[in-house]
């Protein structure tokens, strides 16, 4: 919860609340996708993606991919340690034909933590598996 004060008369303050006090931040294993939508732009080359997560204690990572009806990936974006559970992106489709049925898939995950302090300070790069906490998928159409 953040508070802000303005130039009010002495002894008076104004509180501004940026989060819903009834929406309790959740630990990583309990973070879920609340809402996923895709709205094609009129130019048929871009899609507005809206993703909302439950409030979280630790900032999650994620990926959003869009595939065409043949299963080919036509767009993707990643986010790293997002600070806001409500996100909006404009995704550019990179395929010659942008008309038809599409599937958008959102995946929210956390990187696997090192097993020991020694492993944490190891300077060699060894990729770790991501711990997926939630996924969502919806279909949408871009009409000619």
Map residue 78 onto helix, strand or coil.
strand
The domain segmentation of the chain, as residue ranges, is 28-142
Q: What is the pLDDT of residues 33-91, one digit of tens each?
A: 999 999 999 999 999 999 999 999 999 999 999 999 999 999 999 999 999 999 999 99
The DSSP line for 5-46 is --SPSTT-------S-TTSPPBPGGG--EEEEEEEE-TTSSE
Q: How confident is the model at residue 1, as a pLDDT?
A: 42
Contacts with 17 (C-beta within 8 Å, 6 or more apart), sequence order? 1, 2, 3
Q: How confident is the model at residue 14, as a pLDDT?
A: 53
Domain 28-142 coded CATH 1.10.10.10: no
Q: How confident is the model at residue 50, as a pLDDT?
A: 98
Q: How confident is the model at residue 11, as a pLDDT?
A: 60
Query: Is residue 35 a contact partner of residue 85, using CB atoms and an 8 Å limit?
Result: no
Residue 98 has pLDDT above 60, yes or no: yes
Q: How confident is the model at residue 128, as a pLDDT?
A: 75
Q: How confident is the model at residue 101, as a pLDDT?
A: 96
Query: Is residue 21 a contact partner of residue 2, using CB atoms and an 8 Å limit?
Result: no
Phi-psi region of 120 (alpha: psi -120 to 50; beta: other; left: phi over 0): alpha
């Amino acid at each position: 919860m953040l508070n802000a004060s303005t130039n009010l008369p002495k002894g008076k303050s104004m509180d501004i609340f940026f989060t819903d006090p009834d929406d309790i931040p959740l630990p990583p294993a309990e973070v879920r996708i609340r809402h996923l939508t895709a709205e094609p732009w009129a130019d048929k080359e871009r899609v507005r993606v809206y993703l909302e997560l439950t409030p979280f204690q630790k900032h999650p990572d994620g990926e959003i991919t869009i595939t065409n009806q043949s299963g080919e990936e036509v767009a993707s974006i990643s986010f790293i340690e997002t600070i806001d559970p409500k996100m909006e992106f404009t995704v550019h489709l990179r395929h010659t034909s942008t008309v038809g049925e599409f599937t958008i898939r959102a995946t929210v995950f956390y990187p696997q933590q090192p097993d020991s302090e020694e492993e944490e300070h190891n300077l060699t790069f060894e990729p770790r598996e991501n711990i997926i906490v939630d996924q969502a998928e919806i279909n949408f159409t871009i009409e000619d």
